[in-house]
Chain A
Amino acid sequence: MESRPEAVVVVRTSLVTLALLAGIASGQPTDAEIIGHDASWRVDDVELRAEYLSQRGHGYQSQDGPIAGPGSEAMGVFEPYALVTVHQNDKITHEITAPVDIISAASPDAVDATTQASRRNESEDLEVRSTFKLWDHDLLTTRVGAHHEEPMSSGSIGAGWRHSLADDNATIGANANITIDGFDDHDHYGDYLGKTARETFNLNLTGSQLLSPTTVIDGGYGVTFQHGTLDTGWNAVPVAGGALSNEILPSDRVRHALSVRLAQHVPATRSTLKLWYRAYLDDFGIQAHSVELAAYQYVVPWLYVRGAYRYHHQTGADFFTTQLPMFYDNTALHTADSDLAPFSANEWSVQVAMVRGRTPGSLHDWSFGAEVLRYWRSNDLQITVVSLTVGRRM
């Protein structure tokens, strides 16, 4: 009889334990909740980036200087970005990007007579990229974007498809985009000439291939056709004798770009190397080659340092000049835009980044990063960019 109370205690304790275990179990997600159908909308990830860009240099298209140029291209840009990843269901996700530019003293020139566009300006963008998982090996992507700044507004739409092959060892894809810009037309005196527009059609073919358990290669080819008012109306072209002419560009442009990238991970040193090359040509007469080498080195499993160097060389447009003769044909193509000049550009950047999901402790779902970038061109343009990023997985 003395054992009865003990048996009761054991039974009670067992029941309580079972009840507690059942309670705990009911609080855990079921398999269906983990891998089953999920039709709910939610924000998966939020990332913010704030950067400040300082530019110094001179270009012959700018009137902020002597008549014969070159004029100043100095400006400062504060640019916050936001990227929000939204999960709609287990087949559809959306990436919403919203960069905002706040630009001060961007190449002051004739346009300041009628607008503030080159003295102080703000521009806003909104882009939504959506991914639809059609079948196990096929993705459909769409993009819708809008841009606004004082002299112009633009809208763009695009769609793409990507197919994976050989158990995801390779992918092939294609996408097409259309952009329409509508903007105020000005001449190089700043006089308003009315509304004008340009259209851009773009087709890209992409592919990737796993080469080994630590190596992957990817690349793409893109062709772009532009039509309409391609010139920047207020850009000036110096004329011998001290006068200025307006810029005259073709109304059509066809551009080709081919790029390839090789990525190699080195497990022994916890490093990654990426080598990227791009070739470009267009019917303005510009040919260009760009190459970038980026190296990633983990300091600890949740923190890496990225260093990159990029070199770019381009020939100039056939009709680029820094000075027209005193008696020139004002129907012939000509531009003094330093972006269309022959030049070489160098760029280096250093970034420190924390890997979300690997960060220890209470920062597990957070990431932080910082980057410094320096860009300089052989035709007198220098840029320094400093940026900070913060992200959180929701």
Chain B
Amino acid sequence: MFRVVVVGSVVLALTSCAIVPRNRREHLADPTMQPNEDVLRDRAHAKIHTAREGAAGGDGEPAGGGCGCSN
């Protein structure tokens, strides 16, 4: 499954490099389309998962701190 995701992501990235001109990015600029449209909510959710799931952390954010091996 891990390999499928890696290969799929690379193929998608290589085959989908459409150029969207700046004057057609109105919808991309919508607040709900931003990757971090609510920073505090995302951090609070991440903290819930990091403290309770042994498989959390390490994806784009530093892992560590908190209690025990789950971090």
Contact = CB atoms under 8 A, between A and B. Distances in A.
A binds B: yes
A256 B58 contact: yes
A105 interface: no
Contacts of A257: 57-59
Closest 3 A/B residue pairs (Cβ) = A232-B68, A179-B64, A288-B55
A122 to B, nearest CB: 14
Contacts of B16: 209, 211, 217
Interface of B: 1-2, 5-6, 9, 12-13, 16-22, 24-28, 30-33, 35, 38-41, 43-45, 47-49, 51-55, 57-70
Contacts of A290: 55
A327 B59 CA distance: 40
Contacts of B39: 47, 83, 95, 97
Interface residues of A, number: 107
Contacts of B6: 258
Contact of B41 (A287, A314, A371): A371
Interface in A204-241: 204, 206-214, 216-224, 226, 230-232, 235
A367 to B, nearest CB: 10
A280 interface: yes
A223 B58 contact: yes
A302 B62 CA distance: 34
9 contacts: A83-B40, A220-B59, A258-B6, A259-B60, A265-B32, A284-B69, A290-B55, A345-B52, A351-B41
A142 interface: no
Contacts of B30: 265, 272
Contact of A281 (B2, B13, B20): B2
A281 B41 CA distance: 26
Given A272-B32, A351-B38, 16 more contacts: A51-B44, A81-B43, A83-B40, A95-B39, A97-B40, A170-B17, A179-B62, A213-B25, A231-B68, A249-B69, A257-B57, A259-B59, A279-B1, A288-B55, A345-B52, A371-B41
B33 A272 contact: yes
Interface in A262-284: 263, 265, 267, 272, 277-282, 284
A170 B45 CA distance: 27
Contact of B1 (A282, A289, A369): A289
Contacts of B2: 258, 279, 281, 287
A202 B63 contact: yes
Interface SS of chain B: loop
A355 to B, nearest CB: 5
A119 interface: no
Interface in A170-200: 170, 175, 177-181, 198, 200
A389 interface: yes
B53 A211 contact: no
Given A286-B54, A385-B48, A218 B35 contact: yes
A317 interface: yes
A212 B18 CA distance: 7
A158 B32 contact: no
A289 B59 CA distance: 13
Given A272-B30, A351-B41, A260 B9 contact: yes
A167 B23 CA distance: 12
Given A99-B43, A219-B9, A265-B30, A169 B60 contact: no
A317 B55 CA distance: 10
